Structure 1
Amino acid sequence: MSGPTVEQLELLRELHDRGSLAAVAAALHKTPSAVSQQLKAAQRELGVPLVVRAGRGLVLTDAGVALARSAVGVATALAEAEASWQRFQGAATGTVRLACFHSAAELLVPGLLDRLRSRPGLVLETADEDVAQDDFAALAADYDVVVAHRSDDVAAPARDGLVVVPLLREPMDVALPADHPLAGREHVTPADVIGEDWIAPPPEFPIDRVLSAIAARAGAPVRVVRRTTHLPLTEILVARGHGIALLPRHTTREHAPAGLVLLPLRDLRAGRLVEALLRPDRYARRAVREVVDALVAEAAAVAP
């Protein structure tokens, strides 16, 4: 009886991370039937049950979970070996896929591309992914680097098995129209703004979680009149007097429209943490590591 192959380990890892045969099949560009046949063949060759049926789906057995976790170490070792070989060959080469939520992309991607211009062997592919803060970790299965954000007043969501690289902390300021009675102040408190009409992103986004903290501190509910994830739209609506909002300081100051004022929020820690999430084997790749290093340098430049 032989041990597991690298391909079998990777298949079990994908099932562990993605949770369903359909998701694994889509990621591997195979049919669910083909993936199912691969699992059955692996069980026959290894002589132990690797999956059991649960409802309409499959879950890994203890043996399957153990092999899925060992797949991470195997893939990381292979990536480290490739990185060592590339160091002998010269400059890093390859394609790196980066997912980034919209406002961080505005803040970081232009400068990141500037920094990578001197590395012609690196090809950076970017994708827009703006999801609830607890859903960013799952994206690491599909991208080499995932730029995620989370509110800094709550514990980090579960991100087992991922490398987390801190990029920056961005304060959240209260955005007001320039003719608002509070616009001339140096700062505002939750009690000052709790009674206003608010424009906010959907629930479970970092900004909305800070808004919930404002409500808790002020002891009154927040009145949200409009929800959108598109921050430039929020800026325009605030400038035209259709409500107030929480907006990220560094991003907004880059292109704030006329008629909008940003004020720091006092008596409450209001901000978001921006981080890069990666699978360990992706982080071991030399091309990916160079992109992450450039991303860290750009974050330090735009938000010292």
Structure 2
Amino acid sequence: MDVQLGWPDLELVRELGDRGSVTAVAEASHRTPSAVSQQLKSLQRRLGIPLVERDGRGLRLTDAGRALADSATGVATALAEADASWRRFLGDVSGTVRLASFFSASELFIPGLVERLALRFPRVRLDTFDEDVSQDGFADLVADYDIVVAHRSDDTEPAPRPNIRVVPLLREPLDVGLPLGHPLAGRAAVEPADLVGEPWTAPPVGFPIERALLALSARAGQPVRVVRRTTHLPLMERLVSRGQCLALLPRYSTLDHADGRFALVPLTGLRAGRHVEALLRPDREARRVVAAVLEELRAEAAQISAGR
């Protein structure tokens, strides 16, 4: 059977693969779930082959569906590259870019990024959003944003996702936050064994700092005692400054906050840090305006790394 596929067909399959349910695709495309379901049924009927299958309460693509989704990414990227080529010919860098990042990355990158864009690309509008999820959850956000700033711990590698580009920004070491009156606060560095028996504050399970604390516990040979759980770094800093607990804190994000409030001491005997990366779809990266924002984001990250 000779079946003609159009862009709406390819886009539907890609969105189902990225979002995992008819309801999520309907919300993203401002349609009813019934309309999306009917489009999917019609496409599968024309092709004569299933494109999705049940995965718990959601959907996942079959091999045939994944092949179509990969084709959709190729088509979308080619269209974006053609538009970017034309804009380069016109000398035009303009438009809106939606960037999502976790809280401390927003504080670290966005003020400088806004200043850079104002100087080099004044016709670019940057819309920013806070998304603080576990390190495995960032890849799911690329369907909704042009750029997603994510982090992962030293002990993990990016999960292979062929339709997501991973652009390294920087590696941020984790230091030990100590109250100023703590016996270890004056040390040039501390080892995991020095920290046995201390109370800690840490993010929930699955966040890079929490994974590093587990590695510290393993190296020290004793479990750590976590007395507070939060993703809010300012709260972690305040708990440390008041002498209520210790914390592993990201160096670049915390350094300016520590002076006169708490000590930030490097950790030796254990490689503890987090990798900060930009995640995006290949077709989004091909857009001229997104590439411009990504370029300035990488420049800001390089300056932060060099300056600290």
For the superposition of Structure 1 and Structure 2, which TM-score range results when normalised by the shorter chain?
over 0.9
Residue 25 of structure 1: SS of its match in structure 2? helix
Asked if 1 retains the 8 angstrom alpha-carbon contact of 2:258 and 2:264, the reply is no
1:239–1:257 Cα contact (<8 Å) kept: no
Q: Give the secondary-structure state (helix, strand or coil) at the position aligned to 1:247.
A: strand
Q: What's the TM-score, normalizing by structure 2? A: 0.95
Q: 1:268 to 1:56 in 2, by over 3 A?
A: closer
Distance 2:259 2:268 in 1: 24
Matched residue, 2:80: 79
Local SS of the residue matching 2:143: coil
Distance 1:258-1:64 versus aligned 2 partners, 3 A rule: same
The amino acid of 1:96's aligned partner reads V
RMSD of aligned alpha carbons: 1.5
Which of the numbers 98, 121, 124 marks the counterpart of 1:122? 124
Code of the aligned partner of 2:181: D
Cα deviation code 1:237-289 (max 9, x no counterpart): 10110101000011101222633000000000011000000011000001000
Inter-partner Cα distance in structure 2 for 1:55 and 1:244: 40
Where in structure 2 are the equivalents of 1:101-250 lying within 5 Å? 101-118=102-119, 119-250=121-252
Match of 1:63 in 2: 64
Please give the secondary structure, in 1, of the residue aligned with 2:149.
strand
Partner deviation per Cα, 1:75-124 (whole Å, 9 max, x = no partner): 10011011011112222111100001011111110000000003222110
The SS at the match of 1:154 is coil
- 1:265 aligned partner: 267
In 2, the alpha carbon distance for the partners of 1:284 and 1:213 equals 38
Equivalent residue letter for 1:95: T
Residue aligning to 1:285: 287
1: CA distance between counterparts of 2:241 and 2:161? 38
- 8 Å CA contact 2:17–2:66 kept in 1: the answer is yes
Q: Which runs of 5+ in 1 are unaligned?
A: none
Distance 1:228 1:58 in 2: 32
Matched residues, number = 304
Displacement of 1:58: 4.5
> Structure 2: which amino acid aligns with 1:154?
T
How far apart are 1:11 and its partner, in Å? Answer: 0.4
State the 1:50 CA deviation. 2.8
1:42 Cα deviation from its structure 2 partner: 1.9
Distance 1:53 1:285, change over 3 A: same
Shift of 1:158: 4.0
- Answer whether contact 1:194 1:218 (CA < 8 A) is retained: yes
User: C-alpha distance in 1, partners of 2:108/2:55?
Assistant: 44
- Closer, same or farther in 2 for the Cα pair 1:229/1:280, shift >3 Å? same
What amino acid is the match of 1:69? D
Identity %: 64
- The change in CA–CA distance for 1:261 and 1:25 in structure 2 (over 3 A counts) is same
Residue type at the aligned position of 1:106: E
